[in-house]
Chain A
Amino acid sequence: MIKYIAKRVGFGVLTIFVVATLTFFLMNMVPGGPFTSDKLSEQAQALIMAKYGLDQPVPVQYVNYLGRLIHGDLGTSIVNVGYSVNDIIADKFPVSFSVGIIAIILSCLIGIPLGILAAYRRGSAMDRVITSLSSLFSSLPGFVLAVILLYVFGMVLHALPTSGLTSWQGYVLPVLALSAGPSAILSRITRASLLDVLSQDFTRFLKAKGMRTKVILFKHALRNAAIPIVTTLGPLAAGILVGNLVVETVFSIPGLGSYLVKCISQRDYPVIMGTTIFYTAFIIVILLLVDIVYCVIDPRIKLDEE
């Protein structure tokens, strides 16, 4: 198992390297550089370029860039001068993370039990209601839901604050907007994989052993169905944590997502690059966690890798 995890970590580092290289060269493709502007004199431009090491040949820049990266330095902002990308992430990411993690937990708490219920009562009215709701919410893009929620609860009903996270009520709308889609997807996956497991031979044998439905469902079927659920949950969690750019913007949450949207309009390339690498690393960590969870759920996986 340790060998297996080591292998995954090694692969993760390789992935980050590839992403770093790609972003570096993609950014170098942008003509003119970030400081090309009519307002600045040629001399001033050259000075700034020298300050950021942009006057050196591309390969040298690349090596310098990688060298900084190995030390964990993701670069500095060129718009908010004096701020390093590390500072910005340290400042903004916890906000995004707190909203995201609540949304992930909520999605699991809503989606998985509903999926179990739908599978257990397959074909019933309950099942139909759950599957219909699931189809409804997974066809609603998160930002559309965010705007609708903002409109109904914030502006028409005045029930909840529409911006910022100053009180706990501030969390309600963004968390709902973020977790609706994933809940729908999770309930669907849970239902499908549970039905698949329940149709397998070993559930019939468990029944033939006289095991109670509760035991079959929660001890055996759910654990077997957990692998597809976890497989979906990994990218879904990554998507929630990374992909709340719009929801943060709509609800004016001072997180990394809304900051990134600002950077895009300001063309603050180092921040965009650094954040991309940070997010890649983050996704890799989540996928690694998923792999470890696999090992815990399924005893067969450990052996395959040895």
Chain B
Amino acid sequence: MAKQTEAIRAQGPLSSTRRGQPLLQVRDLRVSVNSRMGSYDVIHGIGFDVVAGEILGIVGESGCGKSITMNAVMGLLPSNVRVTSGKVAFRGIDLVQAGEPLMEQLRGGDLAMVFQDPMTALDPLYPIGDQILEAIERHSGARGNEAREVAIEALRSVGLSEPEKRLSQYPFELSGGMRQRVIIAIALCCRPSLLICDEPTTALDVTIQATVLDLIRELHEQLGNSVVFISHNMGVIASLCDRVTVMYGGQIVERGTVDEIFYQTAHPYTKGLLACMPTLETPREEPLVPIRGTVPDPRSQVVGCPFSSRCSKRMKICMREMPPEFVLEGQHSCACWLCMSEGLSSELLRVPPISAQISKEEQR
């Protein structure tokens, strides 16, 4: 294990030459919840890659499993939720198999996460300087004044005025937007190669949302890191991401580049999400079309496509079998029987095994 971390350190920050190679590879990830009623799956064997230097959006309604997937990657699942099978390879390390000591070194160092609600994500009893310094001292080995300089620089980089003064302020003295900036500063202070943002703007005012999104984009451009951005807001996804993965009922139903998802939408669920998003171009008289019904209770064992209970284009097979992912054009693929019925594609997406370069590192 020590060797592996050495390896990470030796690689140093991600160089631009490595851009485009997969940084995080998830394969056949299954997550289940144990409750008093017994255990049930909430993530049904999904696989995807995060490429170095990209911003990947994961979109879906609440309860579709997007947060659980990324918390599983981070090893932050609650005690009653666990990964039952699958691999999560990050820079050559299988995070599912990695022990807690190694995960502790990765989290906050090379693998960072920002949460939804900035009001509750900071310890209310310590000044923010303390909370940012403990992360820096944990991961970078900087101490004392040196660490303080890093902290001040991190706070300045997220656009907080008077960063020296901020260090001694408590979270309750800051507004929601400022707190989210602090949280982003903490997440980025150790230059992670992957930043996971779990709906970081949902709990903020609309005006602040935009500035926080700009900040994430700016910092991404500066640092060249990968970002996984979880949201239920299609507009946010469209403005920020390179590629998009749409999730429903613990499965990936559609994926592709932003253009593919927004202009050649294939899955009825994605179409539904887009239809209920107003734009300036939408004529005022035209009503927004909500998706009827609600997300199925994960405890009820769904047969067939999870969206079939709400899908207006459903067919007999949808009620019986979960569709495989059909490859459309380019990187675009979609798990819907309509792709086959409408003759768009019969080619199946084959998620490649974890790439050789990473497997090699894994063996070291």
A and B touch in the complex (CB under 8 A): yes
> Residues on A close to B: CB < 8 A?
122-123, 199-202, 204-213, 215, 220, 223-224, 297-300, 303
Knowing A223-B125, A298-B125, A300-B170 touch, does A202 contact B120 (C-beta < 8 A)? yes
**Do B121 and A210 have beta carbons less than 8 Å apart?**
no
Please name all residues of chain B whose beta carbon is closer than 8 Å to the beta carbon of A210 when the two chains form the complex.
Answer: 104-109, 135, 138-139
Nearest chain B CB to A88 CB, angstrom units: 44
Please name all residues of chain A whose beta carbon is closer than 8 Å to the beta carbon of B125 when the two chains form the complex.
Answer: 220, 223-224, 297-299
Please name all residues of chain B whose beta carbon is closer than 8 Å to the beta carbon of A206 when the two chains form the complex.
Answer: 123
Which residue of A has the minimal Cβ distance to B134? A211
Which residue of A has the minimal Cβ distance to B186? A209
Candidate in A201, A205, A206 with the most chain B CB atoms within 10 angstroms: A205
Knowing A122-B79, A210-B104 touch, does A220 contact B126 (C-beta < 8 A)? yes
Please name all residues of chain A whose beta carbon is closer than 8 Å to the beta carbon of B74 when the two chains form the complex.
Answer: 208
Checking A201, A208, A223, A298 against B108 with a beta-carbon cut-off of 8 angstroms, the contacting residue is A208
Which residue of A has the minimal Cβ distance to B104? A210
For the complex, what is the distance from the CA of A199 to the CA of B112, rounded to whole Å? 20
**Do B170 and A202 have beta carbons less than 8 Å apart?**
no
Interface bin, chain B: 20 to 34
**Do A207 and B107 have beta carbons less than 8 Å apart?**
yes
For the complex, what is the distance from the CA of A300 to the CA of B109, rounded to whole Å? 30
Nearest chain B CB to A200 CB, angstrom units: 6
Checking B104, B109, B117 against A212 with a beta-carbon cut-off of 8 angstroms, the contacting residue is B104
B93 contacts chain A at the CB level, 8 A cutoff = no
Nearest chain B CB to A234 CB, angstrom units: 19
B241 contacts chain A at the CB level, 8 A cutoff = no
**Do B104 and A201 have beta carbons less than 8 Å apart?**
no
For the complex, what is the distance from the CA of A54 to the CA of B68, rounded to whole Å? 77
Candidate in A123, A199, A204, A209 with the most chain B CB atoms within 10 angstroms: A209
24 example contacts (A-B, Cβ-Cβ < 8 A) are as follows: A123-B79, A199-B78, A202-B123, A202-B124, A204-B115, A204-B121, A205-B122, A205-B183, A206-B123, A207-B107, A208-B107, A209-B107, A209-B134, A209-B135, A209-B186, A210-B138, A210-B139, A211-B135, A212-B138, A213-B100, A224-B125, A298-B125, A300-B124, A300-B172
Which residue of B has the minimal Cβ distance to A215? B134
Across chains A and B, the number of contacting residue pairs, with CB separation under 8 Å, is: 76
Nearest chain A CB to B306 CB, angstrom units: 27
For the complex, what is the distance from the CA of A300 to the CA of B138, rounded to whole Å? 27
For the complex, what is the distance from the CA of A241 to the CA of B14, rounded to whole Å? 63
Knowing A202-B122, A300-B124 touch, does A208 contact B76 (C-beta < 8 A)? yes
For the complex, what is the distance from the CA of A208 to the CA of B135, rounded to whole Å? 10
Q: What string of 1s and 0s marks CB contacts (under 8 Å) between B85-110 and chain A?
A: 00000000000000010001111110
Q: Which of B119-144 contact A (CB under 8 A)?
A: 120-126, 134-135, 138-139
Please name all residues of chain A whose beta carbon is closer than 8 Å to the beta carbon of B358 when the two chains form the complex.
Answer: none
Please name all residues of chain A whose beta carbon is closer than 8 Å to the beta carbon of B170 when the two chains form the complex.
Answer: 299-300
**Do A200 and B113 have beta carbons less than 8 Å apart?**
no
Checking A122, A123, A205, A223 against B121 with a beta-carbon cut-off of 8 angstroms, the contacting residue is A205
Sample of 6 further A-B pairs with CB below 8 A, known A220-B123, A220-B126: A202-B120, A202-B121, A202-B124, A205-B122, A208-B108, A211-B104
For the complex, what is the distance from the CA of A209 to the CA of B114, rounded to whole Å? 10
Knowing A122-B79, A201-B117, A300-B172 touch, does A209 contact B138 (C-beta < 8 A)? yes
Please name all residues of chain A whose beta carbon is closer than 8 Å to the beta carbon of B115 when the two chains form the complex.
Answer: 201, 204-205, 208
Knowing A223-B125, A299-B170 touch, does A208 contact B120 (C-beta < 8 A)? no
**Do A207 and B120 have beta carbons less than 8 Å apart?**
no
Which residue of A has the minimal Cβ distance to B103? A210
Please name all residues of chain B whose beta carbon is closer than 8 Å to the beta carbon of A123 when the two chains form the complex.
Answer: 79
Candidate in B115, B122, B124 with the most chain A CB atoms within 10 angstroms: B124
Please name all residues of chain A whose beta carbon is closer than 8 Å to the beta carbon of B107 when the two chains form the complex.
Answer: 207-210
For the complex, what is the distance from the CA of A300 to the CA of B172, rounded to whole Å? 7
Which residue of B has the minimal Cβ distance to A304? B172
Knowing A202-B121, A297-B125 touch, does A207 contact B76 (C-beta < 8 A)? yes
Candidate in A202, A223, A299, A300 with the most chain B CB atoms within 10 angstroms: A202
For the complex, what is the distance from the CA of A297 to the CA of B108, rounded to whole Å? 27
Q: What string of 1s and 0s marks CB contacts (under 8 Å) between B226-255 and chain A?
A: 000000000000000000000000000000
